[in-house]
């Protein structure tokens, strides 16, 4: 997912796609599947073994890819791996002081539990739907549980943008892309037309 508005993507062109992050695996910028690819519509399998070299390598590639593309989150199916693994995080940006910070999180085998009935619509983008934005309804508050890469339990209650990002990423694990949730397709379009002058 991309935050709205997003940070400038100026680093992409000069980005070195191969950076050594461990002695065993070289993190790679992986191609992101685009809407229309049937793999994005699959339900992902749960992870059964934690803290393995394969899982570490997957997370390194996901991190590398999300950073290079200035994403706020990425789900494993977006790079062609049908496993219940998502990462997300938004650091504070002085250019967008209103954008909420979301701690960098690795979330595996997640379970979401909405709290209350409140639904809010806001603009979302997705690395698998490049150049587009849509107005998407999400639960305002929710509890999410799951595991980190070592298998340690995660249990958080969040709201607002953090809750939105988690719902967007976990949707990817269930084969759901945000355009499928837009209530009125008049609120779906090209970013440069909807938000002229805003960095993408
Ligand atoms: Ni997405």
DSSP class per residue in the chain? -B-SSPPP-THHHH--SEEE-SSS-EEEPPPPP-TT-GGGGSPPBPP-S-S-HHHHHHHHHHHHHHHHTT-SEEEGGGGT--BSEEEEEE---TT-TTSPPEEEEEEEEEEEEE-SS-EEEEEEB-TTSTTEEEEEEEESEEEEEEE-TTS-EEEEEEEHHHHHHHHHHHHHHTT--GGGG-S-GGGEEEHHHHSTT---
| 30-44, 62-76, 186-200: the lowest-pLDDT one | 186-200
22-40: average pLDDT: 89
Q: How far is the CA of 157 from the centre of ligand 1 (A)?
A: 21
Q: How far is the CA of 68 from the centre of ligand 1 (A)?
A: 15
Single out the catalytic residue among 64, 67, 124, 169: 169
Q: Which pLDDT value is given to residue 199?
A: 62
Q: Which pLDDT value is given to residue 2?
A: 65
Residue 153 exposure: Cα atoms within 13 Å on the Cβ side: 3
Q: Is it true that domain 21-194 has CATH number 3.30.565.10?
A: no
Percentage of the chain lying above the pLDDT 70 cut: 86
169 is catalytic: yes
Region label for 126, one of left (φ > 0), alpha (ψ between -120 and 50) or beta (otherwise): beta
Q: How far is the CA of 73 from the centre of ligand 1 (A)?
A: 7
Q: How far is the CA of 111 from the centre of ligand 1 (A)?
A: 17
Ligand 1 is a single-atom ion; what residues have CB below 5 A from it?
A: 1, 126
Percentage of the chain lying above the pLDDT 90 cut: 80
pLDDT tens string 133-192: 999 999 999 999 999 999 999 999 999 999 999 999 999 999 999 999 999 999 999 999
117-122: average pLDDT: 98
Q: How far is the CA of 167 from the centre of ligand 1 (A)?
A: 10
Q: How far is the CA of 66 from the centre of ligand 1 (A)?
A: 11
Report the mean per-residue pLDDT for the chain. Answer: 89
Q: Are 172 and 111 in contact (CB under 8 A)?
A: no
């Amino acid at each position: 997912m991309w935050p709205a508005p997003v940070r400038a993507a100026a680093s992409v062109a000069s980005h070195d796609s191969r950076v050594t992050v461990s002695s065993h695996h070289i993190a790679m910028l992986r191609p992101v599947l685009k809407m229309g690819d049937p793999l994005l519509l699959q339900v992902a399998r749960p992870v059964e073994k934690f803290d393995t070299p394969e899982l570490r390598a997957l997370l390194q590639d996901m991190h590398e890819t999300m950073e290079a593309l200035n994403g706020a989150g990425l789900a494993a199916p977006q790079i062609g791996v049908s496993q219940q693994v998502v990462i997300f995080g938004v650091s504070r940006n002085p250019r967008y002081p209103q954008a909420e910070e979301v701690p960098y999180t690795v979330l595996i085998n997640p379970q979401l539990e909405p709290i209350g009935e409140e639904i809010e619509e806001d603009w979302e983008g997705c690395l698998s739907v490049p150049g587009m934005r849509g107005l998407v309804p999400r639960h305002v508050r929710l509890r999410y549980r799951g595991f980190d890469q070592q298998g340690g339990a995660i249990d958080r209650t969040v709201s607002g943008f953090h809750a939105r990002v988690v719902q967007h990423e976990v949707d990817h694990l269930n084969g759901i892309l945000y355009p499928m949730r837009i209530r009125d397709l008049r609120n779906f379009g090209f970013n440069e037309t909807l938000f002229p002058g805003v960095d993408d």
